[in-house]
Amino acid sequence: MEQILLMHPDIQYIKAFYFNMNMMSSTLILVITSIILLILLFPLFFFLRRRVDISLENEVLVLKSPFNTEKIDLDKALRSWKVQEAYYLRWGKFSAISMLFENGRRKNISSMYNQSNYDVLHRFLNTKFKSREIAG
C-alpha cells in the first residue's frame, strides 16, 4: 500500500512542488540579503570615495585617503596639468584638475566633493607650475 501511494502521480506532484518552494525561498533569501548588503555598502563607498585630504609640503603633494597615503613630488613627477569644467543640470558647474605625471599616470582632483582642496591645489599649480598648464 505504501509503495502504491509513493508511485501515485499526485504524490509526485506534491514532492516536486515542495522542492520548488524550498528552492524559491532560498533564492529569495539570497536576493534579499544581497539587496540589503548593497544598500548598506553604497553609502560607505561614497563616503570613503570623497574622503581625500590634500596637503602641500613645499612641492610635495600629499593625498591622504582612508586606506593609503600617497606622496607626489610635483617638481619631478608633474608633466602637465589642465583644468576641466563640467556643467550638471542639478548641481551646477564643477571643475577638476587633471594632472599627467612622467610615469604616464593621471590624477584628477574635483571641486565636486571638496572645494577647499581644489582651491588650494589650483592656486598652488597656478603660482608654481603655470608653465606646465595645458589650455583646456
pLDDT in tens, 30-87: 888 899 998 888 777 766 666 677 888 888 888 887 778 888 888 888 899 999 888 8
What per-residue confidence (pLDDT) applies to 27? Answer: 77
What per-residue confidence (pLDDT) applies to 35? Answer: 92
pLDDT in tens, 80-132: 999 988 888 887 888 888 889 888 898 888 887 778 878 888 888 888 888 88
What per-residue confidence (pLDDT) applies to 2? Answer: 47
What per-residue confidence (pLDDT) applies to 1? Answer: 46
pLDDT in tens, 6-24: 555 555 555 555 555 566 6
What per-residue confidence (pLDDT) applies to 82? Answer: 92
What per-residue confidence (pLDDT) applies to 68? Answer: 80
SS (H, E, C) the chain: CHHHHHHCHHHHHHHHHHHHHHHHHHHHHHHHHHHHHHHHHHHHHHHHHHCCEEEEECCEEEEECCCCEEEEEHHHHEEEEEEEEEEECCCEEEEEEEEEECCCCEEEEECCCCHHHHHHHHHHHHHHCHHHECCC
